């Protein structure tokens, strides 16, 4: 991705080096955190022993490595490009795009949806409309999931911003309304559709990166590889040796790559209705 020298977003909160301890308030954790924990095989029970109070210390003394600082600058540029993508698309559809914030943190963070650790992976919190990411995840993406390349990382951010798009369009509210109406198995199926739509929106973002001549050779393959690498079936096979489809929450590798590619090919924000689709 041609990102160096391009403007980064100002909608970033840099909390790196700040310590934050807190529980998910004893209440319901946003599905974004829970699902990420499930998909990456993370035990979120560790939060059960944390207090609901939050304590923080200044990040003034935090010294990022040059590699980490470059990732931070890269993430700011990607966020800016998502803004450049979604603002005109919303305007074209008679809507107003509300900018999400990107929160960079290390180890633990307190969000509007409760506390989370770096082990939760990147997530979007609809309560405060912020995307949270510990930049060390990008190393895990490369080493654990075998998804290398800068556009693999861009895909991750664009996917989480896709959840913000769902929030603004009212899709997230409709999804949450079904939580108490469906069995766990059926709600998991609905969650898969939610996540695949976020993959589609990430593909829409990539479509405009191509139109603006910001993609380099191999970028599309990097994003598709990343989408495939974090499919439910592949992760379950790697982590437990077998696959349990009823517990899928993000979709298979093939489904994730397919919906990203659909968004990439069309560039149409209205073309990714995974909830109505009979063929995922």
Q: How far apart are CA 158 and CA 131, in angstroms?
A: 10
Quick one: tokens of 22? 């807190």
3 state SS of 233:
helix
pLDDT band at 32 (very low <50, low <70, confident <90, very high): very low
In a domain, 279, yes or no: no
Return the percentage of the chain with pLDDT > 70, whole number.
85
DSSP 124: E
CB contact at 8 A, 78 and 12 = no
Span 124-147, average pLDDT: 97
Lowest-pLDDT range of 4-13, 49-58, 101-110, 238-247:
49-58
The residue that leads in pLDDT, 30 or 147, is 147
In a domain, 272, yes or no: no
DSSP 112: T
State how far the alpha carbon of 172 is from the alpha carbons of 73, 153, 182, 253, in Å.
29, 24, 16, 23
* pLDDT tens sequence across 169-228: 999 999 999 999 999 999 999 999 999 999 999 999 999 999 999 999 999 999 999 999
In a domain, 273, yes or no: no
Rounded to the nearest integer, the mean pLDDT of the chain is 89
What radius of gyration do the chain's Cα atoms show? 18
pLDDT of residue 106: 95
- Structural domains counted in the chain: 1
Span 67-75, average pLDDT: 98
In a domain, 4, yes or no: no
pLDDT of residue 42: 41
Residue 243 in this model has a pLDDT that exceeds 60: yes
Q: How far apart are CA 263 and CA 166, in angstroms?
A: 15
Q: In what order do the strands lie in the sheet with 12-14?
A: 12-14, 101-105, 130-134, 123-125
Helix ranges restricted to H, the chain: 31-39, 66-92, 137-143, 150-168, 171-177, 184-211, 219-229, 232-240, 253-266
Residue 39 in this model has a pLDDT that exceeds 70: no
Strand partners, 130: 101, 125
Domain that holds residue 234: 12-266
Span 47-65, average pLDDT: 55
Return the percentage of the chain with pLDDT > 90, whole number.
84
pLDDT of residue 20: 58
Side-chain-facing half-sphere of 4: CA atoms under 13 Å:
4
CB contact at 8 A, 250 and 35 = yes
In a domain, 252, yes or no: yes
pLDDT of residue 58: 53
């Amino acid at each position: 991705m041609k990102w160096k020298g391009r403007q980064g977003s100002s909608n970033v909160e840099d909390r790196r080096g700040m310590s934050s301890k807190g529980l998910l308030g004893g209440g319901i954790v946003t599905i974004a955190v829970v699902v990420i924990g499930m998909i990456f095989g993370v035990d979120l029970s560790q939060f059960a022993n944390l207090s609901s109070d939050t304590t923080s210390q200044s990040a003034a003394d935090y010294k990022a490595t040059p590699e980490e600082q470059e990732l931070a600058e890269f993430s700011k540029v990607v966020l800016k490009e998502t803004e450049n993508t979604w603002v005109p698309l919303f305007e074209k559809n008679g809507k107003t795009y509300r900018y999400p914030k990107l929160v960079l943190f290390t180890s633990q963070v307190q969000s509007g949806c409760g506390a989370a650790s770096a082990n939760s992976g990147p997530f979007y919190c609809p309560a405060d409309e912020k995307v949270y990411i510990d930049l060390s995840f990008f190393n895990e993406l490369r080493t654990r999931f075998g998804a290398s390349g800068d556009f693999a990382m861009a895909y991750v951010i664009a996917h989480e911003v896709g959840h913000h798009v769902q929030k603004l369009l009212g899709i997230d509210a409709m999804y949450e309304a079904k939580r108490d109406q469906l069995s766990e198995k059926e709600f998991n199926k609905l969650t898969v559709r939610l996540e695949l739509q976020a993959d589609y929106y990430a593909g829409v973002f990539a479509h405009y990166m191509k139109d603006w001549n910001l993609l380099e050779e191999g970028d599309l393959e990097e994003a598709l590889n990343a989408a495939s690498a974090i499919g439910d079936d592949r992760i379950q096979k790697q982590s437990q040796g077998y696959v349990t489809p009823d517990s899928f929450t993000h979709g298979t590798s093939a489904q994730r790559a397919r919906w990203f590619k659909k968004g990439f090919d069309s560039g149409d924000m209205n073309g990714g209705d995974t909830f109505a689709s009979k063929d995922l």
